[in-house]
């Protein structure tokens, strides 16, 4: 029941029809006894400033969540960045303070790392990875890899300038382990134990498409897709056909959402209730 004391969170991005976040978050609030409500605001960058300013001056908002394509653009409209968010230069979580200030955080990297750690036997330290996609999700994932001691991170994007900038930022802010890989040049893939799709290709209007040719995937790879709806993108189906291990972004969604609730509320999030809700969605 929404009342005068309800505090709101909205997810800002597009497309959002594939998102499970509202059900997961609202189940978390319910399980924790929190009078909060999470809902969607589907929008790109055109009116992002006005939306963020609205949240700033509405005391009913605890903050907002941010997703593709707004994770980098939103930085312009915030008052302060958590040190990790500042290093990543991408934000997926905004906390509103009582004095109308907006503080940016990034929990995507935490979600990615926890998912790999909990759901696979892949060791990130000294690993060689290929990250396809240099937007907000790619930034968070590459940053997490560098922070966790990766040996080398190849970064590629159709927008090659973005990939170059991300590699430079990783090398400057975390560790000198990032290497720009020209888009469509897969010569580095034989080195890579972990291949990551952070482009968004495979969900929404691009269902059935993959950002990588199937024949460059090898059985000894772990292939990770930040997308979780559909549960198996074309990229993951291709990887499975090639004998590779696969993992979608559902665990990343869970653990980044857990961290978000703890930022917005200062209380421990009910992890198992949120996990069960995600399982109910995927199995139902």
The pLDDT tens digits of the residues spanning 51-88 come to 999 999 999 999 999 999 999 999 999 999 999 999 99
For position 18, which CATH number holds? 3.40.50.10860
d(CA 103, CA 80) in angstroms, rounded, equals 5
Kindly state whether residues 196 and 228 are assigned to the same domain: yes
Q: Structure tokens of 137?
A: 């999700």
Kindly state whether residues 55 and 132 are assigned to the same domain: no
Whether residue 250 contacts residue 241, with contact meaning beta carbons closer than 8 Å, is answered with no
Kindly state whether residues 198 and 71 are assigned to the same domain: no
**2, part of any domain:** no
Calculate the alpha carbon distances from 262 to 28, 162, 189, 197 in Å: 11, 31, 37, 27
For position 174, which CATH number holds? 3.40.50.720
Catalytic status, residue 267: no
**200, part of any domain:** yes
- Summary mean pLDDT of the chain: 97
**1, part of any domain:** no
Residue 284: per-residue pLDDT: 74
| Arithmetic mean of pLDDT, 134-159 | 97
The catalytic residue among 27, 49, 68, 71 is 71
Sign of CA dihedral 167, 168, 170, 175: positive
Give every CB contact of residue 193 below 8 A, 6+ residues apart in sequence: 122, 127, 128, 129, 220, 221, 222
Kindly state whether residues 113 and 213 are assigned to the same domain: yes
Kindly state whether residues 132 and 98 are assigned to the same domain: no
Full residue range of the structural domain in which residue 24 is found: 7-106+251-283
Reported as a pLDDT band with limits 50, 70 and 90, residue 147 is very high
Bridge partner list, 154:
130, 179
Kindly state whether residues 232 and 256 are assigned to the same domain: no
Residue 1: per-residue pLDDT: 85
The closest of 120, 112, 254 to 193, measured between CA atoms, is 120
pTM of the model: 0.94
Reported as a pLDDT band with limits 50, 70 and 90, residue 127 is very high
Residue matched to tokens 């961290």: 259
Bridge partner list, 80:
103
Reported as half-sphere exposure (CB side, CA atoms, 13 A), residue 254 has a value of 22
Kindly state whether residues 239 and 125 are assigned to the same domain: yes
**274, part of any domain:** yes
Q: How many domains does the chain have?
A: 2
């Amino acid at each position: 029941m929404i009342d005068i004391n309800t505090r709101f969170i909205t997810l800002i991005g597009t497309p959002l029809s594939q998102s499970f976040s509202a059900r997961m978050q609202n189940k978390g609030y319910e399980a924790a006894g929190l009078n909060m409500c999470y809902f969607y605001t589907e929008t790109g960058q055109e009116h992002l400033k006005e939306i963020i300013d609205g949240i700033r001056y509405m005391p009913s908002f605890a903050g907002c969540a941010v997703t593709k394509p707004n994770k980098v653009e939103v930085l312009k409209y915030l008052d302060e960045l958590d040190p990790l968010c500042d290093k990543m230069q991408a934000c997926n979580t905004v906390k509103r303070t009582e004095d109308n200030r907006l503080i940016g955080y990034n929990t995507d990297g935490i979600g990615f790392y926890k998912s790999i750690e909990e759901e696979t036997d892949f060791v990130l330290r000294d690993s060689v990875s290929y990250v396809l996609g240099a937007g907000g999700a790619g930034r968070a994932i590459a940053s997490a890899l560098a922070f966790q001691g990766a040996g080398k991170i190849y970064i590629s994007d159709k927008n090659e300038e973005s990939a170059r900038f991300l590699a430079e930022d990783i090398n400057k802010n975390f560790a000198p382990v990032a290497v720009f890989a020209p888009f469509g040049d897969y010569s580095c893939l034989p080195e890579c134990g972990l291949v990551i799709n952070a482009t968004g290709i495979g969900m929404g209007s691009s269902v059935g498409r993959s950002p990588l040719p199937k024949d460059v995937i090898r059985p000894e790879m772990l292939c990770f897709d930040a997308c979780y709806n559909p549960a198996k993108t074309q990229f993951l189906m291709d990887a499975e056909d090639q004998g590779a291990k696969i993992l979608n972004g559902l665990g990343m969604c869970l653990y980044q959402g857990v961290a978000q609730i703890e930022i917005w509320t200062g209380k421990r999030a009910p992890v198992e209730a949120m996990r069960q809700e995600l399982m109910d969605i995927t199995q139902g």
